[in-house]
């Protein structure tokens, strides 16, 4: 039995790769070929779908928009979560447990519940259709997540580190940035990865809060698919391109990813 | 860790508190407002009391959507948790296989959700998709846009594809934290594979598995984008889960009152289940 152990993960990976392969396969076909023939690989190999995306600004701006608000969100979430996570991991204060659970409840709130009020709220403060609106709205679930992960990593650092630094005459600020932050660098990296990931894959809020100027690529895809009939080849090429940023970030955190998914709580 | 009491720690929490309150409290209050009022447009509102809550709680439409949602969440948990554990147990522990497995398995987690839906739509199309074509040529009468059973099968398969890796990664992290000494002791005692799993691996994975179930419950209960793109809730309403039904009501029909009441009931259900899990998790953590 031990001999065939590798079969399980191998079969699973094949199952995971099949739909992705099918998407890539379609992205190199013309729409006519997709609709008229069934083939396991492109019969008439074409890159015209990709050329269209990289030359048409309504398409490539979608990527720029998505990446812009995702990066904004990652920076805001981690910057705000760092001091808070430190407070939760080191101190007891009035209402700390309730506050922690309240933060987590926001990770549990179905985005569909918030879609309409968000639309009205961000419109009324004139932030509708801006990158910052999407970045801020994604804080709803990313900040709780960031606090949660960072708290896990910080709690693993013994308190003696803080105390020794203070004895050595470090001020809080110097200790925090010169000693503490480098100590949990891996944790911060993982947190950034998760914020990036959840902001990148979310669509409901991003779509609700944008019209044209900050429209995410994922929303561009749905619109184009419905107005100009099903341009399947183009859709497949755009989809394939959305996989790439994720694949790049995974590569960088591959050694920490399993632990990171456990929120530093193993 | 023994924590010191320090009320000044609140200063550290303020940025997070403000940002999240700004995002959660204000919209939530809007929803609460709507749920008790009738709107006539132009910002004219009339007090309705608990009418919308009663209407939603008694409506067949809500019961049906809730029923579908519970069935869906239950089925995917039943598949993903054991499957995830099984894959984590058989994954390589060292060598080149580890990063290869981790990278490839994480791929589905980083694909935007509507692309997941679109990808599965293309993949499952009966005439030109790989899955649909293969099933049909094997003699099955498969068409997920026409037959409710096939739509459910495809939606569940898609979710298994999308999220099983999360369970795998969590379990794998749990397994990695087990000291080799435990396995050596088990071997000396002549423990069977099953006994090793039952008495060493499973208890060590308890914490991460609770987390996995919590996360999978939460996210599958809120699922919207993937089935919306894949089936649009159809055929008919057969795959219209809670979020899809809610968005239809709020943004499609603009029934703000009932939609808001439904939002609150929906949120409350998620909150209740998560609260139970959260307490379980904290208890586990306090023990270790």
Q: How far apart are CA A121 and CA A123, in angstroms?
A: 5
Interface contact flag, B104 A89, Cβ < 8 Å = no
Question: Where do we find the tokens 């054991």?
Answer: B82
How many interface pairs between A and B have CB atoms less than 8 angstroms apart? 289
Interface contact flag, B278 A101, Cβ < 8 Å = yes
Question: Where do we find the tokens 């009320």?
Answer: B7
**How many CA atoms does the CB half-sphere of B57 hold within 13 Å?**
11
Contact A234, A53 (CB under 8 A): yes
On whether both A70 and A138 belong to a single domain, the answer is: yes
A221 domain residue, yes or no: yes
B17 domain residue, yes or no: no
Peptide bond preceding A266: is omega within 30 degrees of 0, i.e. cis?
no
A266 domain residue, yes or no: no
pLDDT of the residue at B77:
95
Provide the percentage of residues in chain A whose pLDDT is more than 90: 20
Q: B82 vs B270, which has greater pLDDT?
A: B82
Q: Kindly report which listed range (A167-176, A229-238, B3-12, B226-235) carries the lowest average pLDDT score.
A: A229-238
Provide the percentage of residues in chain B whose pLDDT is more than 90: 17
- Chain A CB contacts of B229 below 8 Å: 222
Please report, for the domain that includes residue A85, its CATH number.
Answer: 1.10.3720.10
Residue B37 belongs to what H/E stretch? strand B37-39
CA angle (B85 as vertex; B84, B86 as ends), nearest 5: 90
On whether both A8 and A139 belong to a single domain, the answer is: no
Strands B45-47 and B37-39: antiparallel
Residue A216 belongs to what H/E stretch? none
- A26–chain B nearest CA distance, Å: 9
B141 domain residue, yes or no: yes
Q: Give the number of other Cβ atoms within 10 Å of residue B44's Cβ.
A: 9
B32 domain residue, yes or no: no
A174 domain residue, yes or no: yes
- A53–chain B nearest CA distance, Å: 16
On whether both A99 and A65 belong to a single domain, the answer is: yes
Which residues is B4 bridged to in the sheet? A91
Confidence bin at A259 (pLDDT 50/70/90):
low
Instruction: Give Cα B246 to chain centroid, integer Å.
Output: 17
Token couple for B6: 């320090």
Select the residue of A8, A120, A197 nearest B90 (Cβ to Cβ). Answer: A8
Contact B83, B164 (CB under 8 A): yes
Residue B45 belongs to what H/E stretch? strand B45-47
pLDDT > 90? residue A36 = no
pLDDT > 70? residue A229 = no
Provide the percentage of residues in chain B whose pLDDT is more than 70: 96
Q: Among all residues of chain A, which has the CA nearest to that of B215? A: A108
- Chain B CB contacts of A93 below 8 Å: 5-10, 13
Interface contact flag, A262 B271, Cβ < 8 Å = no
B3 domain residue, yes or no: no
- Chain B CB contacts of A155 below 8 Å: 1
On whether both A166 and A220 belong to a single domain, the answer is: yes
On whether both A35 and A157 belong to a single domain, the answer is: no
pLDDT > 60? residue A223 = no
Domain that holds residue B121: 56-287
Contact B224, B7 (CB under 8 A): no
Q: Kindly report which listed range (A23-27, A44-48, B106-110) carries the lowest average pLDDT score.
A: A44-48
Interface contact flag, B107 A235, Cβ < 8 Å = no
Interface contact flag, A19 B123, Cβ < 8 Å = yes
pLDDT > 80? residue B46 = no
**Nearest CA-CA partner of B193 in B169, B175, B201:** B201
pLDDT > 90? residue B71 = yes
On whether both A66 and A135 belong to a single domain, the answer is: yes
Q: Which of B2, B72, B122 to mutate to test the interface with A (most CBs of A within 10 A)?
A: B122
A51 domain residue, yes or no: no
On whether both A224 and A149 belong to a single domain, the answer is: yes
Q: Among all residues of chain B, which has the CA nearest to that of A117? A: B27
Rg of chain B taking only CA atoms, in angstroms? 23
pLDDT of the residue at A75:
95
Q: How far apart are CA A136 and CA B26, in angstroms?
A: 13
Confidence bin at A228 (pLDDT 50/70/90):
very low
Q: How far apart are the first and last CA of chain B?
A: 12
Q: Which of B17, B24, B41, B257 to mutate to test the interface with A (most CBs of A within 10 A)?
A: B24
Q: How far apart are CA A159 and CA A173, in angstroms?
A: 16
Q: pTM of the entire structure? A: 0.87
On whether both A36 and A105 belong to a single domain, the answer is: no
- Chain B CB contacts of A94 below 8 Å: 7, 10
Where on the phi/psi map is residue B178: left (φ > 0), alpha (ψ -120 to 50), or beta?
Answer: beta
Q: What are phi and psi of A219, to 5 degrees?
A: -75, -35
Confidence bin at B68 (pLDDT 50/70/90):
very high
Please report, for the domain that includes residue B256, its CATH number.
Answer: 1.10.3720.10
Interface contact flag, B211 A107, Cβ < 8 Å = no
Interface contact flag, B119 A112, Cβ < 8 Å = no
Provide the percentage of residues in chain A whose pLDDT is more than 70: 92
On whether both A218 and A194 belong to a single domain, the answer is: yes
- A12–chain B nearest CA distance, Å: 8
B108 domain residue, yes or no: yes
pLDDT of the residue at A266:
47
Domain that holds residue A14: 1-46
B65 domain residue, yes or no: yes
- B219–chain A nearest CA distance, Å: 8
A178 domain residue, yes or no: yes
Confidence bin at A17 (pLDDT 50/70/90):
very high
pLDDT of the residue at B256:
77
Q: How confident is the prediction for chain B on average, in pLDDT? A: 85
Interface contact flag, B12 A118, Cβ < 8 Å = no
Q: B203 vs A2, which has greater pLDDT?
A: B203
Task: Work out the average pLDDT over B100-119.
Answer: 89
On whether both A38 and A125 belong to a single domain, the answer is: no
Look at chain B and report how many structural domains it folds into.
Answer: 1
Q: How far apart are CA A202 and CA A71, in angstroms?
A: 14
Look at chain A and report how many structural domains it folds into.
Answer: 2
Q: Among all residues of chain B, which has the CA nearest to that of A114? A: B27
- A86–chain B nearest CA distance, Å: 8
Where on the phi/psi map is residue B207: left (φ > 0), alpha (ψ -120 to 50), or beta?
Answer: alpha
Long-range contacts of B44-50 (CB under 8 A, 24+ apart): B48/B257
pLDDT of the residue at A263:
60
- Chain B CB contacts of A222 below 8 Å: 114, 229
Contact B165, B109 (CB under 8 A): yes
Query: Tell me, what DSSP letter sits at residue A40?
Result: S
Which residues is B47 bridged to in the sheet? B37
Query: Tell me, what DSSP letter sits at residue B139?
Result: T
Where on the phi/psi map is residue B47: left (φ > 0), alpha (ψ -120 to 50), or beta?
Answer: beta
Contact B35, A122 (CB under 8 A): no
- A188–chain B nearest CA distance, Å: 16
- A43–chain B nearest CA distance, Å: 14
Confidence bin at A220 (pLDDT 50/70/90):
confident
Confidence bin at A226 (pLDDT 50/70/90):
very low
Q: How confident is the prediction for chain A on average, in pLDDT? A: 84
On whether both A16 and A75 belong to a single domain, the answer is: no
- For A38-96, what is each residue's pLDDT tens digit? 888 888 888 888 988 888 888 888 889 999 999 999 999 999 999 999 999 888 888 88
B19 domain residue, yes or no: no
Interface contact flag, A93 B229, Cβ < 8 Å = no
What is the ipTM metric for this complex? 0.86
Interface contact flag, A203 B270, Cβ < 8 Å = no
Question: Where do we find the tokens 């944790």?
Answer: A187
Token couple for A163: 């105390």
B13 domain residue, yes or no: no
On whether both A42 and A60 belong to a single domain, the answer is: no
Confidence bin at A265 (pLDDT 50/70/90):
low
């Amino acid at each position: 039995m031990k001999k065939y152990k590798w079969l399980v993960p191998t079969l699973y990976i094949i199952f995971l790769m099949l739909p992705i392969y099918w998407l890539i396969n379609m992205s190199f076909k013309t729409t006519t070929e997709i609709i008229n023939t069934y083939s396991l690989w492109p019969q008439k190999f074409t890159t015209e779908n990709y050329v269209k995306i990289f030359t048409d600004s309504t398409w490539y701006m979608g990527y720029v928009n998505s990446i812009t608000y995702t990066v904004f969100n990652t920076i805001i979430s981690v910057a705000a979560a760092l001091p808070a996570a430190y407070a939760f991991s080191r101190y007891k204060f009035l209402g700390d447990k309730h506050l922690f659970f309240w933060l987590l409840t926001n990770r549990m709130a179905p985005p569909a519940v918030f879609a309409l009020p968000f639309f009205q709220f961000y419109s009324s403060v004139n932030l509708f259709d801006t990158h910052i609106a999407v970045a801020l709205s994604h804080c709803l679930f990313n900040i709780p997540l960031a606090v949660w992960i960072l708290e896990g990593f910080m709690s693993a650092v013994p308190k003696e580190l803080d105390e020794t630094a203070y004895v050595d005459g470090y001020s809080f600020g110097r200790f925090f940035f010169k000693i503490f932050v480098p100590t949990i660098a891996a944790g911060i990296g993982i947190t950034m990865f998760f914020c990036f990931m959840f902001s990148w894959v979310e669509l409901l809020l991003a779509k609700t809060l944008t019209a044209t100027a900050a429209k995410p690529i994922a929303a561009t895809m749905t619109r184009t698919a419905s107005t100009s009939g099903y341009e399947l080849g183009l859709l497949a090429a755009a989809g394939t391109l959305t996989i790439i940023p994720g694949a790049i970030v995974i590569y960088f955190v591959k050694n920490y990813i399993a632990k990171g998914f456990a929120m530093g709580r193993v | 860790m023994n924590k010191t009491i320090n009320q000044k720690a609140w200063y550290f929490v303020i940025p997070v508190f403000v940002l999240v309150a700004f995002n959660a409290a204000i919209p939530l209050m809007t929803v609460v407002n709507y749920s008790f009022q009738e709107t006539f447009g132009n910002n004219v509102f009339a007090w309705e009391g608990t009418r919308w809550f009663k209407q939603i709680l008694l409506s067949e439409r809500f019961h049906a959507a809730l029923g579908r949602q519970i069935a869906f969440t239950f089925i995917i948990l039943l598949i993903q948790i054991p499957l995830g554990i099984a894959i984590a147990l058989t994954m390589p522990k060292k060598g080149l296989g580890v990063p290869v497995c981790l990278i490839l398995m994480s791929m589905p987690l980083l694909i935007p959700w509507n692309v997941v839906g679109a990808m599965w739509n293309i993949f499952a199309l009966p005439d030109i998709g790989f899955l649909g074509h293969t099933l049909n040529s094997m003699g099955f009468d498969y068409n997920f846009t026409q037959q409710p059973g096939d739509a459910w099968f495809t939606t569940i398969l898609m979710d298994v594809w999308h999220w099983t890796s999360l369970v795998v990664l969590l379990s794998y992290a749990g397994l990695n934290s087990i000291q080799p000494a435990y396995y050596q002791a088990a071997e000396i005692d002549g423990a069977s594979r099953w006994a090793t799993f039952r008495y060493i691996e499973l208890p060590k994975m308890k914490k991460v598995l609770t987390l996995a179930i919590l996360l999978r419950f939460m996210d599958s209960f809120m699922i919207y984008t993937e089935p919306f793109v894949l089936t649009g809730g159809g055929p008919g309403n057969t795959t219209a889960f809670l979020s899809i039904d809610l968005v239809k009501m709020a943004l499609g029909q603009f029934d703000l009152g009932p939609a808001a009441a439904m939002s609150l009931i929906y949120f409350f259900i998620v909150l209740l289940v998560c609260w139970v899990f959260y307490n379980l998790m904290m208890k586990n953590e306090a023990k270790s």
